[in-house]
Structure formats: C-alpha cells, structure tokens
C-alpha cells in the first residue's frame, strides 16, 4: 500500500511528455490532420461480406476521406460460439455472437472464423490499410479470459460487494468454472500448454461463475453476489468498490511471471504479424498499471519503435479519477476522453437548457489536450449497451464539430455514425458528418480562438497555417427558430474578403470588414462552417 502511494505521489509532481506528442498518429508523410475511425459497432454486420472483407473494400475511400488510423475490433478467439441458431415459431436465423472481448486465446486470429471473419481476411485487410497509408490499431483485451470447460469446488469467503476489502460472511465451498480445454482448441495448443497449470499456483488467475468470483489454490476472500479476492488482488488498480481488480470472467493476475511473459510476447508478436501501429487497451482501470507500463515499454523496446500508439479505455466521467492515471503513465498512453463524452450526452439530454460555454469543463482535452483521444460515441454507449450514454441526433453534429475542428485532442469517429446501419445509424448524420470530416482535412489548422459568448451559441476560429486555410465555426443548441449570429475575427490577413458556408446549401455569404471581423451565423440547433471564397 505504501509503495503504491509513493509511486502515485511521485508521478503527480514529475513532469513528462504528453502522450500524443511522442506517438505515431498516422503515416510519416501525411501533411493533413490525423484522424481515427472506430470501424465496428456492437451488433452491426455486413449482409454479404465478412467484416474484414467489408473493411478491405472500404479502405481506399476511408484513406481519401482523411482517416489515418483504424481501431478494429479484437481479432482473437472468444468464448461465445461463432454462430448460434435462434429459433422462432416459423423460422430460424443464424447469428454471429462473440466479439473478441470475451477473450479466450489472444494468439488465435481466426483459424476458426470469428464474428469478424478469418485470419487470412484479417491480415489482408491490415495489409490493404498499410498500402493506402492508414494505420491499424489492435484492440488488446488483456484483463480477463473466458471459455473454460470444467468446474472445481473449493473454499471461499464472501465480501461486501460495495467494498471488496470487507468480509461479509464465513468461509463456504463454491463451484467455479476453471479448467482450460486444450484439446478443444487444438489449433493453438502449443500456446496453451505453457500456461495450462498456472491456475494451480496461488494468485495466477481469478474465476467467475454465477455465484461469484474466487481464486484457486487457497482460502481467499470472495464476494456476494460479486465475489472478490483478497490475496489475489493487485493493489495497483482503481479503488472503486474498494478494489476494482476484478471485472468479469477469469481475471488475469498480471503479477505472475509466466503470465507476464506470455502477454509481453504477444504484444510484440501481434504487431509483427499484422503490421499494426499500436493498441487500444481495454478496461485498464481493472489492471495493474505497472504491467500496462511494462507491456508498452517492452513492445516499444523490442520493436525499436518508441512511437507505437496507445490509447486506454478508463471508463469514468470523473476527471479527478483519471488524472492520477494520466500522470502515472507519463505519456506512455493516451486516454479516451470519457468526461467529454459525458458532457456531450448531458448536452443532448438537456437541449437548450445546457450552457454550451461549459461544454469543455472538467474534460481531459481541456486539462491535458495532448493526452486526450476525443470521441462522441462508441460501441458501449449505444442504447441498450452496458455503458449506455448515447448522444442524441439533436446534438451529434455539434459534438463532432467540437472534436473534429478544434485544435486540442486526437478525434475518433464512430462507425455507427458514419455508415448506414439499423443498430444506431441516422440518415441525417450519415449525410452531414462527411462534410465535417472534410472540413477537418482541409481547414482545421493553426491557432484556435474561442468565442464563448452565449449560453446557446458558441463559436471558434481556426487561423490556418502555411499550407492550409482556416475556418470559422458556429454551433447552437437552441430550439428551432431564427438563426444565430456571432461576431468573430478571422484575422487582419483576411480583411475585406468574403466567406461562404460549407455545411448547408445556401447563397448566404459573410463580408469581412477592413479589420478582419465578420458576423457568422448558424441555424438554430445546428452547425455551420465558414471558409474564405
């Protein structure tokens, strides 16, 4: 405990390079703004192609649009069946299930086809991306495993589910699914044999069944209905629920030397095999942060690529909870800006009652602009998902304007907003979002000057640089009615010029005066981008 405290305190006061400043955000010869795309949703599948085949077909157009990074779903074998037949009264439908977050074998990239497709199709898509100047990011699910084949009975002690450090009852005997069926997954048997007996060693793994969680090898603390481990827990995790080491499935103890070696080897192997340029790290608040840092350092050192990209999912809308991790990681990984996403979600719920002047308050992108990967929505925030916090269509374009056109942060676009789909797509967003993406590629450069003048209408101006023109952006959350107008300066270098709108077809123009000022408008509850004619 004291070692943990000393480490955190030391990191809080030691300056370090911001993450994005030292990472590859796209090809070295790219002169335009970098941009990430999350190329999947939770449920969407292509009607005729595998997901990897669909991706390969889309890569040329995505490169032209300006995407420099693709965050792809986990390619590994998972617990859930590839296909399950759902039977109705009159017909049955094949449904692909496992998404890779139910990780079983990280080393198997689809020798048996996963939800997303087979190994060769995945590697072809990765190669196609590289050949078009688009980097691939591997979704690394390193926190847990699922898919064990047999149960074992052994003693455990329940704990308080709201504080896993407190016992809540006497020792009892429970049954836990634990044994790995090596023969069942014989295609990758050589990878499992080295770890097959680890579950017999104290602290190696933690296990979950319907009645709880425990760890083999000795009497340990568990929880009811969620059971936790006293002896097997890492103290270098988030302190939510007392100790948030356990999330789901078979929790991996990253302190174990053989476990570490397997995962460190995998990190190097997966980038070598796929040609990928970095990682999205899943669920890091549940992982020993010392291992995360070791994993990234080992991969970068062994591949002799110090700029390998990494972005971490630390799911919390509370900036104060994330700051210690940002500081202790010291630029080793960037972080998804969940607090900003939550601000967008709240703004979309409140409508005109939300004060747009506060939209960046208590966000990573405001406090640590070069450590933030900004996003509007993702696969977990869709309606009905575990982290549901969907940004409604009434505010989605405004949110995208903020992450795509401002200077701070590294933005990520969601497949579900860009492509037509039944799960979460909206025709108006699909039509207008590409215009915002194009504006980022062509005009979102240089200094950013804010005009936070009204509760329901704000604007900002990008000054441009030596190779790109700038733009003026106005956005509103007011109920339908008259257009807004903000007086903003586009700089004396643009004095006595005319600006035209990009987002909506219109004959309107803005005449900039002799000092570089003009009155720029946008529709109520909408967005407008103005560029010089």
Catalytic residue numbers read: 282, 313
* Tokens 């793994």 -> residue: 205
* Cα–Cα dist 204/234, whole Å: 11
C-alpha 325: how far from chain center: 16
- Cβ neighbours of residue 342 closer than 8 Å, sequence gap 6 or more: 317, 389
* Cα–Cα dist 471/503, whole Å: 12
What is each CA distance from 437 to 35, 135, 476, in whole angstroms?
Answer: 9, 18, 19
- Cβ neighbours of residue 147 closer than 8 Å, sequence gap 6 or more: 78, 79, 102, 104, 180
- Side-chain half-sphere CA neighbours of 395 within 13 A: 31
418: helix, strand or coil: helix
- Side-chain half-sphere CA neighbours of 123 within 13 A: 12
Per the CB < 8 A criterion, the answer to whether 101 and 168 are in contact is: no
**Token digits of residue 419:** 């492509």
The neighbour count for residue 368, using CB atoms within 10 Å, is 22
- 359-432-58-26 Cα dihedral, nearest 10 degrees: -40
Q: In what order do the strands lie in the sheet with 212-214?
A: 144-145, 250-252, 205-209, 212-214
- Pairing outcome for strands 144-145 and 250-252: antiparallel
- Cβ neighbours of residue 213 closer than 8 Å, sequence gap 6 or more: 206, 207, 222, 223, 226, 227, 228, 229, 246, 251
* Tokens 């996003």 -> residue: 375
């Amino acid at each position: 405990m004291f070692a943990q405290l000393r480490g955190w305190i030391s990191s809080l006061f030691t300056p370090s390079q911001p993450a994005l400043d030292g990472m590859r955000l796209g090809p070295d010869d790219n002169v335009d703004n970098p941009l990430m795309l999350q190329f999947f949703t939770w449920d969407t599948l292509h009607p005729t192609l595998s997901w990897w085949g669909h991706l390969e077909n889309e890569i040329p157009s995505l490169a032209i649009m300006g995407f420099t990074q693709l965050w792809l779903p986990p390619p590994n074998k998972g617990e859930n069946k590839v296909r399950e037949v759902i039977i109705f009264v009159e017909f049955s439908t094949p449904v692909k299930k496992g998404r890779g977050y139910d990780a079983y074998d990280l080393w198997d990239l689809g020798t048996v086809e996963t939800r997303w497709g087979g190994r060769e199709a995945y590697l072809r898509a990765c190669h196609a991306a590289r050949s078009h100047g688009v980097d691939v990011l591997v979704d690394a699910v390193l926190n847990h495993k699922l898919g064990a084949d047999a149960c074992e009975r052994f003693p455990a002690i329940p704990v308080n589910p709201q504080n896993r450090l407190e016992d809540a009852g006497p020792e009892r005997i429970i049954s836990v699914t634990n044994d790995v069926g090596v023969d069942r997954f014989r295609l990758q048997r050589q990878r499992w044999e080295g770890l097959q007996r680890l579950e017999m060693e104290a602290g190696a793994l933690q296990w979950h069944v319907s009645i709880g969680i425990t760890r083999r090898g000795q009497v340990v603390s568990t929880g009811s209905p969620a059971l936790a481990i006293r002896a097997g827990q890492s103290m270098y995790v988030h302190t939510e629920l007392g100790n948030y080491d356990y999330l789901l499935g078979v929790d991996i103890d990253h302190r174990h030397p053989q476990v570490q070696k397997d995962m460190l080897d995998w990190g190097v192997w997966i980038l070598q095999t796929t040609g990928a340029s970095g990682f999205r790290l899943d669920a890091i608040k549940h992982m020993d942060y010392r291992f995360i840092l070791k994993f990234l350092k080992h991969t970068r050192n062994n591949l002799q690529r110090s700029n390998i990209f990494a972005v971490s999912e630390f799911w919390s809308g509370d900036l104060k909870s994330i700051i210690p991790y940002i500081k202790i990681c010291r630029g080793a990984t960037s972080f998804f800006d969940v607090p900003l996403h939550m601000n967008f979600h709240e703004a979309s719920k409140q409508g005109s009652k939300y004060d747009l002047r506060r939209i960046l308050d208590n966000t990573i992108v405001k406090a640590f602009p070069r450590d933030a990967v900004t996003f509007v929505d993702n696969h977990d925030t869709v309606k009905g998902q575990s982290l549901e916090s969907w940004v409604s269509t009434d505010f989605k374009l405004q949110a995208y304007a903020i992450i795509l056109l401002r200077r701070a942060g590294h933005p990520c676009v969601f497949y579900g907003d860009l492509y037509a789909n039944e799960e979460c797509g909206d025709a108006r967003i699909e039509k207008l979002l590409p215009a915002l993406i194009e504006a980022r590629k062509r005009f979102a450069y240089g200094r950013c000057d804010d005009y936070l003048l009204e509760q329901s209408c704000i604007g900002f101006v990008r000054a441009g640089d030596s190779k790109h023109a700038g733009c003026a952006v106005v956005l509103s959350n007011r109920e339908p009615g008259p257009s807004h107008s903000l007086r903003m300066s586009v700089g004396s270098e643009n004095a006595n010029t005319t600006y035209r709108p990009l987002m909506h077809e219109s004959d309107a123009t803005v005449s900039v005066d002799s000092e570089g000022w003009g009155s720029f408008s946008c529709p109520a509850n909408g967005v407008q981008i103005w560029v010089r004619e």
